[in-house]
A and B are shown apart, each in its own frame.
Chain A
Amino acid sequence: MKKAWVICRKEMREIFRSKYIFSSLLMPIVVFGLFIPILLTLLPIFVFPGQGEINIPPFVTQMIPDYCKTDRQRLIYFVAYFLMGPMLLMVPIMTPIFIAADSFSGEKERKTIEPLLATPTSDIELFFGKVLTAFVPSMIVCFTTFSIATFLLNLSAFQVFGRIIFPNLTYLVMMTATTPLATILSIGVMVLVSARVASVRDASQVGGVLILPVILLLVGQMFALFFINVYMVLAATGLLALVDVILIHAGSSRFGREKILMKI
Protein backbone atom coordinates (compact mmCIF):
# COMPACT_ATOMS: atom_id res chain seq x y z
CA MET A 1 0.00 0.00 0.00
CA LYS A 2 3.07 2.26 -0.02
CA LYS A 3 2.32 3.36 -3.57
CA ALA A 4 -1.24 4.31 -2.59
CA TRP A 5 0.34 6.91 -0.27
CA VAL A 6 2.66 8.04 -3.05
CA ILE A 7 -0.38 8.64 -5.28
CA CYS A 8 -2.28 10.35 -2.46
CA ARG A 9 0.61 12.69 -1.58
CA LYS A 10 1.09 13.71 -5.20
CA GLU A 11 -2.64 14.33 -5.71
CA MET A 12 -2.83 16.43 -2.53
CA ARG A 13 0.05 18.56 -3.79
CA GLU A 14 -1.85 19.12 -7.04
CA ILE A 15 -5.11 19.90 -5.22
CA PHE A 16 -3.46 22.64 -3.16
CA ARG A 17 -1.89 24.12 -6.30
CA SER A 18 -5.19 24.35 -8.17
CA LYS A 19 -7.07 27.40 -6.96
CA TYR A 20 -10.30 26.00 -8.42
CA ILE A 21 -10.12 22.70 -6.56
CA PHE A 22 -8.83 24.40 -3.43
CA SER A 23 -11.67 26.93 -3.48
CA SER A 24 -14.17 24.09 -3.98
CA LEU A 25 -12.82 22.67 -0.71
CA LEU A 26 -13.11 26.01 1.07
CA MET A 27 -16.70 26.46 -0.07
CA PRO A 28 -18.32 24.02 2.42
CA ILE A 29 -16.35 25.63 5.26
CA VAL A 30 -17.57 29.08 4.29
CA VAL A 31 -21.18 28.06 3.56
CA PHE A 32 -21.87 25.36 6.17
CA GLY A 33 -19.28 26.36 8.76
CA LEU A 34 -19.69 30.13 8.74
CA PHE A 35 -22.53 31.57 6.68
CA ILE A 36 -25.45 29.29 7.61
CA PRO A 37 -24.56 28.94 11.35
CA ILE A 38 -24.22 32.72 11.67
CA LEU A 39 -27.53 33.24 9.88
CA LEU A 40 -29.37 30.61 11.89
CA THR A 41 -27.98 31.62 15.26
CA LEU A 42 -28.59 35.29 14.67
CA LEU A 43 -32.16 34.58 13.57
CA PRO A 44 -33.65 33.89 17.04
CA ILE A 45 -31.76 36.80 18.55
CA PHE A 46 -32.95 39.42 16.08
CA VAL A 47 -36.34 38.05 15.10
CA PHE A 48 -37.45 37.46 18.68
CA PRO A 49 -35.54 39.99 20.72
CA GLY A 50 -38.27 40.40 23.36
CA GLN A 51 -39.90 37.98 25.80
CA GLY A 52 -42.95 37.44 23.60
CA GLU A 53 -44.45 34.07 22.78
CA ILE A 54 -43.06 32.10 19.83
CA ASN A 55 -45.39 29.75 18.07
CA ILE A 56 -43.55 26.46 17.95
CA PRO A 57 -46.00 23.72 16.98
CA PRO A 58 -46.76 21.23 19.78
CA PHE A 59 -45.51 18.21 17.79
CA VAL A 60 -42.09 19.87 17.51
CA THR A 61 -42.10 20.94 21.14
CA GLN A 62 -42.69 17.31 22.13
CA MET A 63 -39.35 16.37 20.56
CA ILE A 64 -37.42 19.09 22.36
CA PRO A 65 -36.00 18.03 25.73
CA ASP A 66 -37.34 19.40 29.01
CA TYR A 67 -34.24 21.42 29.85
CA CYS A 68 -35.31 23.88 27.16
CA LYS A 69 -37.62 25.92 29.35
CA THR A 70 -38.18 29.10 27.34
CA ASP A 71 -39.29 29.53 23.75
CA ARG A 72 -35.91 31.05 22.81
CA GLN A 73 -34.14 28.02 24.23
CA ARG A 74 -36.50 25.75 22.29
CA LEU A 75 -35.89 27.76 19.12
CA ILE A 76 -32.12 27.60 19.42
CA TYR A 77 -32.34 23.88 20.13
CA PHE A 78 -34.55 23.50 17.05
CA VAL A 79 -32.07 25.43 14.91
CA ALA A 80 -29.10 23.43 16.18
CA TYR A 81 -30.55 19.94 15.99
CA PHE A 82 -33.33 20.10 13.43
CA LEU A 83 -31.73 22.44 10.89
CA MET A 84 -27.99 22.77 11.34
CA GLY A 85 -27.17 19.19 12.34
CA PRO A 86 -28.64 17.48 9.26
CA MET A 87 -27.26 20.26 7.06
CA LEU A 88 -23.77 19.52 8.32
CA LEU A 89 -24.21 15.93 7.20
CA MET A 90 -24.24 17.11 3.62
CA VAL A 91 -20.59 18.18 3.93
CA PRO A 92 -18.98 14.72 4.06
CA ILE A 93 -21.06 13.54 1.10
CA MET A 94 -20.63 16.68 -1.01
CA THR A 95 -16.99 17.54 -0.39
CA PRO A 96 -15.27 14.49 -1.87
CA ILE A 97 -17.57 14.26 -4.92
CA PHE A 98 -15.51 16.56 -7.14
CA ILE A 99 -12.14 15.14 -6.10
CA ALA A 100 -13.34 11.54 -6.44
CA ALA A 101 -15.10 12.28 -9.74
CA ASP A 102 -11.82 13.73 -11.01
CA SER A 103 -9.79 10.73 -9.78
CA PHE A 104 -9.68 8.67 -12.98
CA SER A 105 -11.83 10.58 -15.45
CA GLY A 106 -9.71 13.69 -14.77
CA GLU A 107 -6.57 11.70 -15.57
CA LYS A 108 -8.26 10.48 -18.76
CA GLU A 109 -9.20 14.02 -19.77
CA ARG A 110 -5.69 15.32 -19.10
CA LYS A 111 -4.16 12.27 -20.88
CA THR A 112 -2.05 11.37 -17.85
CA ILE A 113 -3.70 7.99 -17.35
CA GLU A 114 -1.56 5.95 -19.80
CA PRO A 115 1.82 6.55 -18.14
CA LEU A 116 0.21 5.98 -14.75
CA LEU A 117 -1.31 2.65 -15.79
CA ALA A 118 2.01 1.62 -17.34
CA THR A 119 3.70 1.70 -13.92
CA PRO A 120 3.89 -1.50 -11.87
CA THR A 121 1.36 -0.07 -9.38
CA SER A 122 -1.27 -2.70 -8.61
CA ASP A 123 -4.96 -2.07 -9.30
CA ILE A 124 -5.69 -2.12 -5.55
CA GLU A 125 -2.97 0.44 -4.86
CA LEU A 126 -4.38 2.67 -7.60
CA PHE A 127 -7.90 2.32 -6.18
CA PHE A 128 -6.87 3.03 -2.58
CA GLY A 129 -4.56 5.85 -3.69
CA LYS A 130 -7.48 7.61 -5.31
CA VAL A 131 -9.85 6.87 -2.40
CA LEU A 132 -7.32 8.30 0.08
CA THR A 133 -6.84 11.37 -2.09
CA ALA A 134 -10.48 12.27 -1.70
CA PHE A 135 -10.79 11.05 1.92
CA VAL A 136 -8.00 13.04 3.58
CA PRO A 137 -8.97 16.57 2.38
CA SER A 138 -12.68 15.75 2.87
CA MET A 139 -12.10 14.81 6.49
CA ILE A 140 -10.09 17.98 7.06
CA VAL A 141 -12.92 20.03 5.51
CA CYS A 142 -15.61 18.15 7.47
CA PHE A 143 -13.99 18.52 10.87
CA THR A 144 -13.09 22.15 10.23
CA THR A 145 -16.68 22.88 9.19
CA PHE A 146 -18.12 20.98 12.16
CA SER A 147 -15.77 22.70 14.58
CA ILE A 148 -16.53 26.22 13.36
CA ALA A 149 -20.29 25.56 13.12
CA THR A 150 -20.32 24.00 16.60
CA PHE A 151 -18.41 26.95 18.03
CA LEU A 152 -20.78 29.48 16.48
CA LEU A 153 -23.91 27.56 17.52
CA ASN A 154 -22.67 27.30 21.08
CA LEU A 155 -21.65 30.94 21.14
CA SER A 156 -25.26 31.81 20.51
CA ALA A 157 -26.63 29.07 22.77
CA PHE A 158 -24.39 30.04 25.68
CA GLN A 159 -26.12 33.40 25.99
CA VAL A 160 -29.48 31.68 26.35
CA PHE A 161 -28.62 28.40 28.14
CA GLY A 162 -25.55 29.49 30.08
CA ARG A 163 -23.78 26.36 28.79
CA ILE A 164 -22.89 24.63 25.53
CA ILE A 165 -25.66 22.48 24.05
CA PHE A 166 -24.26 21.17 20.77
CA PRO A 167 -23.37 18.44 19.97
CA ASN A 168 -25.16 15.82 22.04
CA LEU A 169 -24.17 12.14 22.06
CA THR A 170 -26.13 11.47 18.86
CA TYR A 171 -24.33 14.12 16.87
CA LEU A 172 -20.98 13.27 18.43
CA VAL A 173 -21.34 9.68 17.19
CA MET A 174 -22.58 10.97 13.87
CA MET A 175 -19.62 13.29 13.38
CA THR A 176 -16.91 10.92 14.51
CA ALA A 177 -18.19 7.60 13.14
CA THR A 178 -21.05 8.06 10.67
CA THR A 179 -19.40 10.90 8.78
CA PRO A 180 -16.13 9.14 7.87
CA LEU A 181 -18.09 6.06 6.82
CA ALA A 182 -20.48 8.13 4.71
CA THR A 183 -17.47 9.82 3.14
CA ILE A 184 -15.92 6.46 2.27
CA LEU A 185 -19.21 5.35 0.70
CA SER A 186 -19.42 8.54 -1.36
CA ILE A 187 -15.78 8.29 -2.47
CA GLY A 188 -15.90 4.56 -3.22
CA VAL A 189 -18.92 4.97 -5.48
CA MET A 190 -17.45 8.03 -7.20
CA VAL A 191 -14.03 6.47 -7.81
CA LEU A 192 -15.63 3.40 -9.37
CA VAL A 193 -17.87 5.59 -11.53
CA SER A 194 -14.91 7.80 -12.45
CA ALA A 195 -12.95 4.78 -13.66
CA ARG A 196 -15.80 3.77 -15.93
CA VAL A 197 -16.77 7.05 -17.56
CA ALA A 198 -14.80 9.24 -19.94
CA SER A 199 -15.22 12.69 -18.39
CA VAL A 200 -15.35 14.43 -15.02
CA ARG A 201 -18.73 15.90 -15.97
CA ASP A 202 -20.25 12.43 -16.47
CA ALA A 203 -18.84 11.28 -13.13
CA SER A 204 -20.03 14.39 -11.27
CA GLN A 205 -23.60 13.90 -12.46
CA VAL A 206 -23.73 10.57 -10.64
CA GLY A 207 -22.49 12.37 -7.53
CA GLY A 208 -25.70 14.37 -7.33
CA VAL A 209 -27.65 11.18 -6.62
CA LEU A 210 -25.53 10.49 -3.54
CA ILE A 211 -26.74 13.64 -1.80
CA LEU A 212 -30.42 12.70 -2.12
CA PRO A 213 -30.65 10.55 1.06
CA VAL A 214 -29.12 13.37 3.11
CA ILE A 215 -31.54 15.88 1.62
CA LEU A 216 -34.40 13.55 2.61
CA LEU A 217 -33.00 13.42 6.12
CA LEU A 218 -32.73 17.20 6.21
CA VAL A 219 -36.29 17.70 5.00
CA GLY A 220 -37.55 15.10 7.47
CA GLN A 221 -35.85 16.90 10.33
CA MET A 222 -36.87 20.39 9.21
CA PHE A 223 -40.50 19.42 9.13
CA ALA A 224 -40.08 17.44 12.32
CA LEU A 225 -41.30 14.28 10.65
CA PHE A 226 -38.83 12.39 12.81
CA PHE A 227 -35.96 13.14 15.09
CA ILE A 228 -32.80 11.08 14.89
CA ASN A 229 -31.62 9.54 18.14
CA VAL A 230 -28.44 7.76 19.09
CA TYR A 231 -29.90 4.31 18.37
CA MET A 232 -30.87 5.31 14.85
CA VAL A 233 -27.41 6.75 14.29
CA LEU A 234 -25.67 3.67 15.65
CA ALA A 235 -27.82 1.46 13.42
CA ALA A 236 -27.10 3.67 10.39
CA THR A 237 -23.38 3.68 11.24
CA GLY A 238 -23.34 -0.12 11.45
CA LEU A 239 -25.17 -0.36 8.15
CA LEU A 240 -22.78 2.10 6.51
CA ALA A 241 -19.78 0.16 7.82
CA LEU A 242 -21.20 -3.01 6.28
CA VAL A 243 -21.94 -1.30 2.96
CA ASP A 244 -18.43 0.23 2.96
CA VAL A 245 -16.78 -3.13 3.52
CA ILE A 246 -18.82 -4.68 0.69
CA LEU A 247 -18.15 -1.69 -1.58
CA ILE A 248 -14.40 -1.67 -0.97
CA HIS A 249 -14.13 -5.43 -1.33
CA ALA A 250 -16.22 -5.50 -4.51
CA GLY A 251 -14.68 -2.29 -5.79
CA SER A 252 -11.06 -3.33 -5.34
CA SER A 253 -11.65 -6.81 -6.76
CA ARG A 254 -13.61 -5.60 -9.81
CA PHE A 255 -11.53 -2.50 -10.38
CA GLY A 256 -9.11 -3.10 -13.23
CA ARG A 257 -6.89 -1.05 -15.50
CA GLU A 258 -8.22 -2.82 -18.59
CA LYS A 259 -11.69 -1.41 -17.86
CA ILE A 260 -10.21 2.06 -17.44
CA LEU A 261 -8.26 1.82 -20.68
CA MET A 262 -11.37 0.72 -22.56
CA LYS A 263 -13.04 4.03 -21.67
CA ILE A 264 -10.19 6.34 -22.74
Chain B
Amino acid sequence: MLPEVHGHYERMSAQENLRYYAQLYGVPKSEIGGRVKDLLENMGLWERRSDKVGTYSKGMKQKLAIARALIHDPPVLFLDEPTSALDPEAQKKIRDDILILSKRRDRTIFLCTHNLAEAEMLCDRIAIINHGKIVALGETEHLRNHLWHLKTFELTLTKVSSQIIKAIESAGLCKKIEVKGNSVIFSVSNPEHDNPIIAKKVIDAGGHIVSLSEIKRTLEEIYLKIIGEES
Protein backbone atom coordinates (compact mmCIF):
# COMPACT_ATOMS: atom_id res chain seq x y z
CA MET B 1 0.00 0.00 0.00
CA LEU B 2 1.23 3.48 -0.87
CA PRO B 3 -0.55 6.14 1.20
CA GLU B 4 -1.08 9.67 -0.06
CA VAL B 5 1.61 10.96 2.32
CA HIS B 6 4.80 8.89 1.99
CA GLY B 7 5.15 8.36 5.78
CA HIS B 8 8.85 7.52 5.99
CA TYR B 9 10.90 7.65 9.18
CA GLU B 10 13.01 10.62 8.20
CA ARG B 11 15.75 10.14 10.77
CA MET B 12 16.45 6.72 9.29
CA SER B 13 18.11 5.88 5.97
CA ALA B 14 16.28 4.40 2.97
CA GLN B 15 17.91 1.06 3.69
CA GLU B 16 16.83 1.10 7.35
CA ASN B 17 13.27 2.07 6.42
CA LEU B 18 12.98 -0.81 3.95
CA ARG B 19 14.61 -3.31 6.32
CA TYR B 20 12.16 -2.31 9.07
CA TYR B 21 9.13 -2.82 6.84
CA ALA B 22 10.56 -6.07 5.43
CA GLN B 23 10.69 -7.42 8.99
CA LEU B 24 7.16 -6.23 9.77
CA TYR B 25 5.88 -7.84 6.57
CA GLY B 26 7.57 -11.09 7.60
CA VAL B 27 10.07 -11.27 4.73
CA PRO B 28 12.56 -14.10 5.53
CA LYS B 29 15.76 -12.69 7.04
CA SER B 30 17.95 -14.27 4.36
CA GLU B 31 16.03 -12.46 1.60
CA ILE B 32 15.83 -8.97 3.13
CA GLY B 33 19.28 -7.72 2.04
CA GLY B 34 18.80 -8.82 -1.58
CA ARG B 35 15.31 -7.39 -1.88
CA VAL B 36 16.29 -4.04 -0.38
CA LYS B 37 19.24 -3.79 -2.78
CA ASP B 38 17.13 -4.75 -5.84
CA LEU B 39 14.38 -2.27 -5.02
CA LEU B 40 16.73 0.61 -4.26
CA GLU B 41 18.65 -0.07 -7.46
CA ASN B 42 15.44 -0.25 -9.51
CA MET B 43 14.25 3.03 -8.06
CA GLY B 44 17.64 4.70 -8.60
CA LEU B 45 18.20 5.24 -4.89
CA TRP B 46 21.06 2.81 -4.23
CA GLU B 47 23.71 5.53 -4.25
CA ARG B 48 21.83 7.41 -1.50
CA ARG B 49 20.88 4.29 0.48
CA SER B 50 22.66 5.34 3.67
CA ASP B 51 21.48 8.96 3.69
CA LYS B 52 18.71 10.01 6.04
CA VAL B 53 15.36 10.08 4.22
CA GLY B 54 14.80 13.61 5.54
CA THR B 55 17.44 14.78 3.05
CA TYR B 56 15.63 13.27 0.02
CA SER B 57 13.62 15.22 -2.57
CA LYS B 58 9.85 14.64 -2.82
CA GLY B 59 10.32 12.48 -5.91
CA MET B 60 12.91 10.31 -4.16
CA LYS B 61 10.64 9.92 -1.14
CA GLN B 62 7.79 8.84 -3.39
CA LYS B 63 10.03 6.32 -5.13
CA LEU B 64 11.10 5.00 -1.76
CA ALA B 65 7.43 4.71 -0.76
CA ILE B 66 6.79 2.60 -3.87
CA ALA B 67 9.84 0.47 -2.99
CA ARG B 68 8.40 0.02 0.49
CA ALA B 69 5.05 -1.01 -0.95
CA LEU B 70 6.88 -3.68 -3.00
CA ILE B 71 9.18 -4.98 -0.24
CA HIS B 72 7.01 -8.04 0.46
CA ASP B 73 6.46 -8.69 -3.25
CA PRO B 74 2.66 -8.23 -3.18
CA PRO B 75 0.60 -9.33 -6.20
CA VAL B 76 -1.75 -6.37 -5.67
CA LEU B 77 -0.71 -2.77 -4.98
CA PHE B 78 -2.84 0.10 -3.69
CA LEU B 79 -1.42 3.47 -4.71
CA ASP B 80 -3.05 6.59 -3.30
CA GLU B 81 -2.29 9.75 -5.33
CA PRO B 82 1.21 8.52 -6.26
CA THR B 83 2.26 11.67 -8.14
CA SER B 84 0.60 14.36 -6.06
CA ALA B 85 2.79 17.37 -5.21
CA LEU B 86 5.60 16.21 -7.51
CA ASP B 87 7.25 18.21 -10.27
CA PRO B 88 6.44 17.15 -13.87
CA GLU B 89 9.72 15.26 -14.31
CA ALA B 90 9.28 13.28 -11.11
CA GLN B 91 5.62 12.64 -12.05
CA LYS B 92 6.69 11.12 -15.36
CA LYS B 93 9.29 8.91 -13.67
CA ILE B 94 6.75 7.62 -11.18
CA ARG B 95 4.20 6.98 -13.97
CA ASP B 96 6.83 5.08 -15.96
CA ASP B 97 7.63 2.98 -12.89
CA ILE B 98 3.94 2.20 -12.39
CA LEU B 99 3.60 1.13 -16.03
CA ILE B 100 6.67 -1.11 -15.73
CA LEU B 101 5.23 -2.74 -12.61
CA SER B 102 1.91 -3.30 -14.31
CA LYS B 103 2.96 -4.36 -17.79
CA ARG B 104 6.32 -6.04 -17.27
CA ARG B 105 6.03 -7.37 -13.74
CA ASP B 106 2.36 -8.37 -13.88
CA ARG B 107 1.29 -6.52 -10.75
CA THR B 108 -2.36 -5.58 -10.28
CA ILE B 109 -2.46 -1.93 -9.30
CA PHE B 110 -5.32 -0.02 -7.74
CA LEU B 111 -4.64 3.63 -8.37
CA CYS B 112 -6.64 6.13 -6.34
CA THR B 113 -6.39 9.59 -7.87
CA HIS B 114 -8.15 12.85 -8.62
CA ASN B 115 -5.81 13.36 -11.57
CA LEU B 116 -8.06 12.09 -14.36
CA ALA B 117 -5.51 12.59 -17.12
CA GLU B 118 -3.13 10.38 -15.18
CA ALA B 119 -5.81 7.76 -14.59
CA GLU B 120 -6.57 7.75 -18.33
CA MET B 121 -2.87 7.36 -19.10
CA LEU B 122 -2.19 4.53 -16.66
CA CYS B 123 -5.37 2.57 -16.03
CA ASP B 124 -6.90 -0.30 -17.98
CA ARG B 125 -10.15 -0.04 -16.05
CA ILE B 126 -11.71 2.94 -14.32
CA ALA B 127 -14.10 3.07 -11.38
CA ILE B 128 -15.74 6.39 -10.59
CA ILE B 129 -16.74 6.72 -6.96
CA ASN B 130 -19.34 9.26 -5.88
CA HIS B 131 -20.30 9.60 -2.20
CA GLY B 132 -18.62 6.27 -1.43
CA LYS B 133 -20.41 4.31 -4.18
CA ILE B 134 -19.03 3.05 -7.47
CA VAL B 135 -21.21 4.78 -10.09
CA ALA B 136 -19.29 3.70 -13.20
CA LEU B 137 -16.88 0.85 -13.87
CA GLY B 138 -15.11 -0.30 -16.99
CA GLU B 139 -12.51 0.49 -19.62
CA THR B 140 -12.36 4.15 -20.61
CA GLU B 141 -13.51 3.28 -24.15
CA HIS B 142 -16.43 1.30 -22.79
CA LEU B 143 -17.50 4.19 -20.55
CA ARG B 144 -17.17 6.59 -23.48
CA ASN B 145 -19.29 4.41 -25.78
CA HIS B 146 -21.83 3.89 -23.06
CA LEU B 147 -22.28 7.61 -22.46
CA TRP B 148 -22.04 8.91 -26.02
CA HIS B 149 -23.53 6.91 -28.88
CA LEU B 150 -22.11 9.33 -31.44
CA LYS B 151 -18.39 9.62 -32.17
CA THR B 152 -16.91 12.94 -33.14
CA PHE B 153 -14.29 13.32 -35.91
CA GLU B 154 -12.20 16.16 -37.22
CA LEU B 155 -11.69 16.23 -40.98
CA THR B 156 -8.89 18.61 -41.97
CA LEU B 157 -8.80 19.81 -45.57
CA THR B 158 -6.57 22.14 -47.55
CA LYS B 159 -9.62 24.36 -47.98
CA VAL B 160 -13.25 24.14 -46.82
CA SER B 161 -15.92 25.25 -49.29
CA SER B 162 -19.71 25.35 -49.19
CA GLN B 163 -19.79 22.58 -51.85
CA ILE B 164 -17.85 20.28 -49.55
CA ILE B 165 -20.20 20.99 -46.63
CA LYS B 166 -23.22 20.30 -48.85
CA ALA B 167 -21.58 17.05 -50.01
CA ILE B 168 -21.08 15.92 -46.40
CA GLU B 169 -24.69 16.85 -45.53
CA SER B 170 -25.98 14.99 -48.59
CA ALA B 171 -24.60 11.74 -47.22
CA GLY B 172 -27.23 12.01 -44.48
CA LEU B 173 -24.97 10.30 -41.94
CA CYS B 174 -23.78 13.19 -39.78
CA LYS B 175 -25.79 14.31 -36.78
CA LYS B 176 -23.89 17.52 -36.23
CA ILE B 177 -21.55 19.46 -38.52
CA GLU B 178 -19.33 22.35 -37.46
CA VAL B 179 -16.64 24.22 -39.40
CA LYS B 180 -13.48 25.47 -37.65
CA GLY B 181 -10.95 27.03 -40.03
CA ASN B 182 -9.87 24.34 -42.47
CA SER B 183 -11.49 21.60 -40.40
CA VAL B 184 -14.96 20.10 -40.42
CA ILE B 185 -16.07 18.55 -37.16
CA PHE B 186 -18.87 16.01 -37.43
CA SER B 187 -20.47 13.26 -35.36
CA VAL B 188 -21.51 9.84 -36.64
CA SER B 189 -22.93 6.75 -34.99
CA ASN B 190 -21.09 4.08 -37.02
CA PRO B 191 -17.69 5.41 -38.11
CA GLU B 192 -16.51 2.14 -39.75
CA HIS B 193 -19.45 2.43 -42.18
CA ASP B 194 -20.01 6.20 -42.33
CA ASN B 195 -16.49 7.70 -42.54
CA PRO B 196 -15.44 6.10 -45.90
CA ILE B 197 -18.71 7.34 -47.47
CA ILE B 198 -18.20 10.88 -46.12
CA ALA B 199 -14.56 10.90 -47.28
CA LYS B 200 -15.60 9.80 -50.79
CA LYS B 201 -18.23 12.55 -50.92
CA VAL B 202 -15.62 15.17 -49.92
CA ILE B 203 -13.13 13.97 -52.55
CA ASP B 204 -15.87 13.89 -55.21
CA ALA B 205 -16.72 17.52 -54.32
CA GLY B 206 -13.08 18.49 -55.03
CA GLY B 207 -11.80 18.49 -51.45
CA HIS B 208 -8.20 17.55 -50.56
CA ILE B 209 -8.10 15.63 -47.27
CA VAL B 210 -5.14 16.32 -44.99
CA SER B 211 -6.26 14.17 -42.07
CA LEU B 212 -9.26 12.50 -40.43
CA SER B 213 -9.04 11.79 -36.72
CA GLU B 214 -11.39 11.07 -33.84
CA ILE B 215 -11.85 13.68 -31.12
CA LYS B 216 -12.03 11.44 -28.10
CA ARG B 217 -13.96 12.43 -25.01
CA THR B 218 -11.54 12.73 -22.14
CA LEU B 219 -11.95 10.92 -18.87
CA GLU B 220 -12.62 14.31 -17.34
CA GLU B 221 -15.66 14.75 -19.64
CA ILE B 222 -16.79 11.23 -18.82
CA TYR B 223 -16.41 11.92 -15.10
CA LEU B 224 -18.26 15.24 -15.26
CA LYS B 225 -21.13 13.71 -17.26
CA ILE B 226 -21.51 10.78 -14.85
CA ILE B 227 -21.30 12.96 -11.74
CA GLY B 228 -23.67 15.49 -13.35
CA GLU B 229 -26.22 12.75 -14.06
CA GLU B 230 -25.81 11.38 -10.53
CA SER B 231 -26.49 14.71 -8.88
Contact = CB atoms under 8 A, between A and B. Distances in A.
Interface of A: 3, 6-7, 10, 13-14, 17-18, 110-116, 118-121
A73 B29 CA distance: 60
A111 B7 contact: yes
A120 B26 contact: yes
B11 interface: yes
Given A3-B24, A120-B24, A17 B11 contact: yes
A14 B5 contact: no
B68 interface: yes
Q: Which of B6, B7, B12 has the most CB of A within 10 A?
A: B7
Nearest to A121: B24
Q: Which of A3, A10, A13, A111 has the most CB of B within 10 A?
A: A10
A115 B3 contact: yes
Interface in B82-140: none
Contacts of A114: 1, 3, 5, 7
Given A112-B7, A113-B7, A114-B7, A6 B12 contact: no
Contact of B9 (A112, A118, A119, A120): A112
Given A3-B23, A120-B25, 5 more contacts: A6-B24, A10-B20, A110-B7, A116-B7, A119-B25
A136 B145 CA distance: 63
B223 interface: no
Contact of B12 (A7, A13, A113, A115): A13
Per CB-CB distance, the 7 closest pairs between chain A and chain B, nearest first, are A119-B24, A114-B3, A111-B5, A118-B1, A6-B23, A112-B7, A115-B7
A101 B11 CA distance: 19
A17 B53 CA distance: 13
B64 to A, nearest CB: 11
Interface of B: 1, 3, 5-12, 16, 20-21, 23-26, 65, 68
Contacts of A17: 11-12
Contacts of B7: 110-116
Q: Which of A6, A114, A115, A121 has the most CB of B within 10 A?
A: A115
Contacts of B8: 112
A111 to B, nearest CB: 4
A119 B23 CA distance: 10
A186 B68 CA distance: 34
A118 B65 CA distance: 13
B65 to A, nearest CB: 8
Contacts of A119: 21, 24-25
B225 to A, nearest CB: 33
Contacts of A3: 23-24
Nearest to A129: B24
A23 to B, nearest CB: 15
A121 B21 CA distance: 10
Contacts of B6: 111
Contacts of A18: 11
Contacts of B5: 111, 114
Contacts of A6: 20, 23-24
A137 B51 CA distance: 26
